[in-house]
Chains A and B, each alone.
Chain A
Amino acid sequence: MVLFPLISWGQSATLVATVDKNPVSVSDVFTLKITLTNGKATIQTPDLNDFQVVFGPSRSSSYRIVNGRQSSSITFSYTLRPKQTGSFEIGVAKANVDGNMLTTSPIKIEVIKGASASSSSSKSAQNSTQKAAPKSTNQNLIVRTQLSKTSVYKGEQIVVSFILLSRYNNIDLGDIDFPTFNGFWTEDLPEQQTSWEPNLEVINGLQYRKAILRQHVIFPQRSGTIQIESLSLSANVNRSFFNPGDNITVKSNSPKITVKELPDGAPKSFNGAVGAFDFSATVDKSEAKANEAINLKVKVVGVGNLRLIDEPKFKFPEDFEVYDPETNDRISVSTGGVRGTRSFQYLIIPRYPGEYTIPEFQFSFFNTNTAKYQSATAGPFKFVISDNKGNVPTAGTPRAKNIVEQSGLDIRYIITDENMLSTARSQFFGTSLFWAGSVGPFALLLVFLIYRRRKEAQYKDVRGRKKRGAGRMAQKRLKAAQAALKSGDSQVFYQEIFKGLYGYLGDKLGIPIGQLSRQKILLELQRNGAQEAIFNDVTYVIDTCEMARFAPVTEVSDEVFYKRTAELIENLEGRLK
């Protein structure tokens, strides 16, 4: 055990142990360096019993000021030679810096037979004239795909870094074949020029220079195990004025990501937002006039898949005219992931006065920190819209018509009118009442017609008999007149003639005895189309008979008058059928 008192100062102290080659051959020597930077402490060196210390420890120290920052380093070097082949471990070195115990990582040294297998030191690599075939496993050039997490929920972000580690001093990067991320939504970190990082990386005791080739933030879109393809890189190393250099192709690891499905029990409003967010919504006024614009601003602030957050679906009142929201992103992508603000601005124009409410809106996301769903609400927003008399849409601008939209689906209401009920099987059609109503009128008509026909026939019969008897009755009456004529009673003679003609005409023309008069007879004769001569004869006979009642007839003898009357009746008999 050797204790070295040291004096050091600076910012954060580091303690690193490195070897210059690994594996080494039995016959070879190698260097172990233990470096303490920015620290002031005694270094407890590891046990080196497995090796023969050829030289050392030699101590070197440096002090630098770069860009106003001072740094110091103290290095202890040992030149060691292995004692035999096999695998040996160099233990940890320790240093207590201001109460902080710093340790190095143990280094595993492979000791092999013969000459050193790999041209390990940069110096010897530079000197080798032999052209090495491109190897995919090269100790001196490593590419790595580094993930911030390997087990995530669907939609949770992962930072992917492609890292180049090199031990070559002189390296020209050729083609880099970056893998594609199938099944991921990818956000690229702003690209920077690839440059060496100031700190060296120690892997298995070997020091590497480190550069970040590219970084992404990826969001898995499906669950399951997803393997990221490896990156392949070709580079030309060790080119110098005398040396064309070697072409090397290396491949990175191909890590697997386990993507867990989001747990059940997502709120109804969950729409795929994963991360940690704050949600807020504000309106710029709650009282406005009709046709005056109102702004509704929705803000989502946080870390996660911000760009996949959709516009919130508010239930706006039907009388509001709402324009598609304007989406504003202030999102930065860094090694810390995707963070920032996504905001949606709605322009709302209430068309009619009244009181309106935009109901409460819920925004839900899966919080990756607590592995639970979380909801935030905004609203409800109440608006009082007053009538805007001065700004009524003019006739020239077509006013947006209110379309009455059906928002819910349900059956229509029942019938409540009891009068709509009817007795079971109470159909009227087909009943005897129906038949009575529809066939009855025809039956009645038929009965009526038959009855009437029969009556008419009877009536006609009476008239016919009278008609036919008229001639005979007249003859009888004229006989009475003849008897009167023989006896010389002129008064009776004319009476009998008058009675005979009246009776005859009454029967012949169908005039009842009560209605029998000179006028009626003439009227009926006229209607029956009697000839003028007959008409005159009838008038003459009646007039003469009436005259004879008061004074004796002188202008014509009784015999002649009888003859004329008989002729007239004979004539009438021929005409009136």
Chain B
Amino acid sequence: MKKLVVFFFVLLVSILAIGQSLDYANDQFSLGNEAYMKGDYETALNHFLEAEPNTEGLAINYNLGNAYFKLGEIPESILHYERALRFDPSNEDVQYNLSISNDLIADKIEVLPKSKLQIWWKTFRYSLGPDGWAQICILLALASVLLFLLYYFSRSKNLRRSGFFGGLLAFMFLILTYTLAVSAENYRYAQKSAIVFTDKVDVKSEPRGGSVNVFVLHSGTKVEILSQEGEWYEVEIASGAQGWIYQDELRLV
């Protein structure tokens, strides 16, 4: 009994703490929005940065990206737009602003075109985010149990049959939804990409300072990280070229 009371107390305190830090983030966020509205981007940026550690998601990263863009810091704005896309890859505003930012950087890398189906699938897969899929998971679990009970208790043959197959279908969808949730979570947190922050970077053939320069990148370019070797990252750019970059030249999305 005593243990239970302690447990609930700790739970309550932690929920309150989370709520408070979110309140703080909310305050900073709205202060930043006000400053941005007045065109004081410097102040807006400081408020957004203040809010950033206590929150995550599309809104904070999108607004940070905008503030950086207005201050002319394009690589930072690209970094935050890319982070915002992690939470909603199909958000049109983020995509638009990112494309404008990408027009302002030195490197223009050919991106392989994607088919409509690929785009639709990506949009669908990440549209709800891991949490959205998780909620559907629970609904499906409940549905399949209820349908099984219908099968179990009903005396009518039709009801029993639809209960059985409905339950089976719901269970299969449950597994599919769970997979989608996992993939959405991986997209958001496990995927590794980075933005180049140094004005000009020689990409090396080996993770060693003296090795051959394979190609040159400039600040603002996005790279996918394939592996890590000490203080070096093996990267791939959108055109498929690969090489090694020293860690200080990059910032992870």
Contact = CB atoms under 8 A, between A and B. Distances in A.
A421 interface: yes
B138 interface: yes
Given A421-B26, A422-B56, A424-B54, A442 B134 contact: no
Contacts of A429: 130-131, 133-134, 181, 184-185
A66 B62 CA distance: 92
Counting chain A CB atoms within 10 Å of each CB, the highest count among B18, B55, B101 belongs to: B55
Interface residues of B, number: 49
B58 interface: yes
A445 interface: yes
Contact of B21 (A415, A423, A442): A423
A414 interface: yes
A387 to B, nearest CB: 37
B148 interface: yes
B131 A411 contact: no
A439 interface: yes
B135 A441 contact: no
A262 B172 CA distance: 78
Interface string B75-107: 000000000000000000100110011000000
A438 B25 contact: no
Nearest to B32: A414
B174 A438 contact: yes
B60 interface: yes
A449 B153 CA distance: 11
Interface string A417-460: 11011111111111000100111111011000100000000000
Nearest to A417: B59
Contacts of B221: none
A411 B100 contact: yes
B63 A415 contact: yes
Contact of B30 (A418, A428, A440): A418
Given A411-B100, A438-B137, A423 B22 contact: yes
A442 B59 CA distance: 37
Q: Binding site of A, secondary structure by majority: helix, strand, loop or mixed? A: loop
B36 interface: yes
Given A437-B141, A438-B137, A438-B141, A424 B66 contact: no
B131 A427 contact: yes
What band does the interface of chain A fall in when counting residues whose beta carbon is under 8 Å from B?
20 to 34
Contacts of B134: 428-430, 434, 438
Contacts of B30: 416, 418
A496 B190 CA distance: 84
A227 B60 CA distance: 66
B53 interface: yes
Interface string B122-164: 0000000011011101100110110011001000000000000
B229 to A, nearest CB: 28
A409 interface: yes
Given A416-B33, A424-B56, A411 B101 contact: yes
B244 interface: no
A423 B148 CA distance: 37
Interface string A110-150: 00000000000000000000000000000000000000000
B29 interface: yes
Nearest to B69: A411
A418 B141 contact: no
Interface in B42-69: 51, 53-60, 62-63, 66-67, 69
B181 A421 contact: no
A412 interface: yes
Contacts of A434: 134, 137-138
Given A434-B137, A441-B141, A412 B97 contact: yes
Nearest to B64: A414
Nearest to B21: A423
Contact of B142 (A423, A424, A441): A441
A418 B69 CA distance: 21
Interface in B3-56: 18, 21-22, 25-26, 29-30, 33, 36-37, 51, 53-56
Contacts of A437: 137-138, 141
Contacts of B66: 411-414
A421 B59 contact: yes
A411 B54 contact: no
Interface of A: 409-418, 420-430, 434, 437-442, 444-445, 449
Interface of B: 18, 21-22, 25-26, 29-30, 33, 36-37, 51, 53-60, 62-63, 66-67, 69-70, 93, 96-97, 100-101, 130-131, 133-135, 137-138, 141-142, 144-145, 148-149, 152, 174, 178, 181, 184-185
22 contacts: A409-B100, A411-B70, A412-B66, A412-B93, A412-B96, A414-B33, A414-B62, A414-B67, A416-B37, A422-B56, A422-B57, A423-B22, A423-B56, A427-B130, A427-B131, A429-B131, A429-B185, A430-B130, A434-B134, A437-B141, A438-B138, A441-B141
User: Which 3 residue pairs across A and B have the least CB separation, nearest first?
Assistant: A420-B59, A429-B134, A429-B130
Given A427-B130, A445-B148, 11 more contacts: A409-B100, A415-B63, A420-B57, A425-B56, A429-B130, A430-B185, A434-B134, A437-B141, A438-B137, A441-B141, A449-B152
